[in-house]
Amino acid sequence: MRITNIESIILLDKLHIVKVHTDEGLVGVGEVSPMNAHVSHSVVEQALAPLLIGEEATDIERLWRRLYTKPYKLGPGGAQLNAIAGIDIALWDLLGKAAGLPTYQLLGGKYRQSAKVYASSMSRSMTPDQEAERAQSFQEKGFHGYKIHSSTPWMHDDGFDQTIATVTAVRKLVGDDFPILVDVNNAYYEHTAIKLAHALEDLGVWHFEEPLAAHDYAAYGRLADAVDIPIAAGEQEYTTWQFRDLILDGKVDILQPDVIKCGGITEFKKIAVLADTFTKPITVHNTQQTIGTSAHAHLWVSTPSCVYPQEYNIEHNPILDDVPIWKNPLVPVNGEITPWDLPGLGIELDDDAVAKLRTN
């Protein structure tokens, strides 16, 4: 099964999906992290696609290494790994379709039947009381926790921050047994992060996510030594080598790879081996509710270390809610997601909808 074409598609000028076409007529579908769709589109078309045409589509490990090493001066993080992820996910989708099996079967089968998810609120415009009411509504829908984003990203202690007020309001409404997670997107200096971590621990927060600059593993290590609340990080790590350093030097408690950022399913599997080796749980970074969630779902049910509830973005998504690009959307039911028992990722794209939203 030879690759004949790599189709890079931008939707609504900001979302990026990839189709891998083959000479047997099978097409695999993947998604790229939407950090800058036009940049990752250029990487796919100019740097990666020429390396794949005519190659055997099922040689995924060899192709991944080829995509990583040939244009190595574009990486090893960011746009290159994001773009590789879209292609790699599509190749795993293809492999499942060729075998007539769900991708999770190719990853070792089901370790668990479905994956619990928590509601991830991306809004920074609500008051603490409004956030609390929203959290309670998702508790009532059966979600297994609620995450807030409560400060200015990378603010260096100098910006909008209503973390403590929001957690206090949410805890008052949802009670003591409902997990609250806090993501501050690299907001603090080390001493402030330690102070906030102690306060959040007193409020029963389940995990404290990315409190420090992503690159400062030494500071993460000191933070982990100073507090008891679980520290989570990993959405800005792209390779097993970076996760190795995040574990050994950063000493984080919970790893957060994102399959549409970290080089796809191939690299995610290796990160999961690291997680098992160092006895670390994985709670993924997952903000894309369509193809990204589907790819994650196959990993969640087949990966032992994906033991805790995983992230599910609860915000409005135009390609899910307005003009759905899926014929069979995969959404939470009573706070759980079960991947479709269909070949590959189980994605049935609506090509008419894709064409309508396409902007490249």
Tens digit of each residue's pLDDT (9 = 90 or more) over 61-97: 999 999 999 998 898 889 999 999 999 999 999 999 9
As a whole number of angstroms, the distance between CA 205 and CA 194 comes to 14
Task: Say whether both 284 and 147 belong to one domain.
Answer: yes
Task: Say whether both 125 and 75 belong to one domain.
Answer: no
Task: Say whether both 96 and 113 belong to one domain.
Answer: no
**pLDDT per residue as tens digits for the range 283-307:** 999 999 999 999 999 999 999 999 9
**pLDDT per residue as tens digits for the range 205-218:** 999 999 999 999 99
Task: Say whether both 38 and 138 belong to one domain.
Answer: no
> In terms of Cα–Cα distance, which of 120, 118, 121, 167 is closest to 144?
118
Contact 55, 43 (CB under 8 A): no
The pLDDT assigned to 250 comes to 98
Task: Say whether both 118 and 52 belong to one domain.
Answer: no
| Domain of residue 146, residue span | 106-337
Q: What is the mean pLDDT of residues 169-194?
A: 98
For residue 172, the number of C-alpha atoms closer than 13 Å in the C-beta half-sphere is 12
Task: Say whether both 197 and 129 belong to one domain.
Answer: yes
In sequence order, the 6+-apart residues with CB closer than 8 A to the CB of 244 are: 274
Burial 296-323 (b: 16+ CB within 10 A, else e): bbbbbbbbebbbbbbbbbbeebebbeee
**pLDDT per residue as tens digits for the range 247-285:** 999 999 999 999 999 999 999 999 999 999 999 999 999
CB atoms within 10 A of CB 219: 20
The pLDDT assigned to 316 comes to 97
Residue 78 maps to which CATH number?
3.30.390.10
Task: Say whether both 86 and 128 belong to one domain.
Answer: no
Task: Work out how many domains the chain is built from and give that number.
Answer: 2
Contact 81, 75 (CB under 8 A): yes
> Is residue 96 packed enough to be buried (19+ CB in 10 Å), middle (13-18) or exposed (0-12)?
buried
In sequence order, the 6+-apart residues with CB closer than 8 A to the CB of 192 are: 157
As a whole number of angstroms, the distance between CA 347 and CA 330 comes to 9
What's the predicted TM-score (pTM) here?
Answer: 0.97
Q: Enumerate helices (H) and strands (E) in the chain, giving the number of each.
A: 12, 11
Task: Say whether both 59 and 79 belong to one domain.
Answer: yes
SS3 assignment, position 236: coil
Asked, for residue 220, whether it belongs to a domain, the answer is yes
Task: Say whether both 77 and 137 belong to one domain.
Answer: no
